[in-house]
């Protein structure tokens, strides 16, 4: 077999491929930065403070506490049934809580017809 030495390599196809890849990366990066759905995230200028009302707490694991006692949704319903609907209700939920757990508790509170409800937040820096 006869071996021949290459005096030069044609790099034009390589440059073409690199330019196409660069275009794809820049287009994708712009798409990710802009996103497709505009969302205005809420900011808390102040924080709700604990008052003389009822307190429902949900920890990171999704455990529900009413007035310091652990409840599931069924027993929370029973506990809230005996309370005055005009009494202020404060919800304290962990920031890393799964959204479904929070939605379940909010749905229950709304279904029971509590009029004064607030969510405790931390003040924005």
Q: Check: CB of residue 114 under 8 Å from CB of residue 85.
A: yes
- Residue 97, in any domain of the structure: yes
C-beta neighbour count of 76 within 10 angstroms: 21
Provide the residue range defining the domain that includes 80.
54-119
Long-range contacts of 61-65 (CB under 8 A, 24+ apart): 62/97, 62/98, 62/101, 64/101, 64/105
Q: What is the CATH number of the domain that holds 87?
A: 3.30.420.270
What pLDDT digit, counting tens, does each position of 26-36 carry? 877 765 555 44
Domain tally, the chain: 1
Lookup result for tokens 């409840």: 71
Residue 42: pLDDT band (50, 70, 90) is very low
Q: Count other Cβ atoms within 10 Å, centred on residue 114.
A: 20
């Amino acid at each position: 077999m006869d071996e021949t030495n290459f005096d030069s390599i044609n790099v034009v196809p390589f440059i073409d491929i690199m330019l196409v890849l660069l275009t794809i990366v820049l287009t994708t990066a712009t798409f990710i930065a802009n996103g497709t759905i505009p969302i205005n995230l809420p900011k808390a200028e102040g924080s709700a403070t604990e008052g003389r009302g009822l307190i429902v707490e949900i920890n990171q694991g999704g455990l529900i506490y009413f007035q310091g006692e652990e409840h599931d949704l069924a027993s929370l319903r029973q506990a809230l049934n005996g309370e005055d609907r005009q009494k202020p209700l404060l919800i304290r939920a962990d920031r890393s809580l799964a959204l479904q757990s929070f939605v379940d508790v909010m749905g229950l509170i709304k279904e029971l017809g509590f009029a004064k409800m607030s969510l405790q937040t931390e003040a924005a820096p």
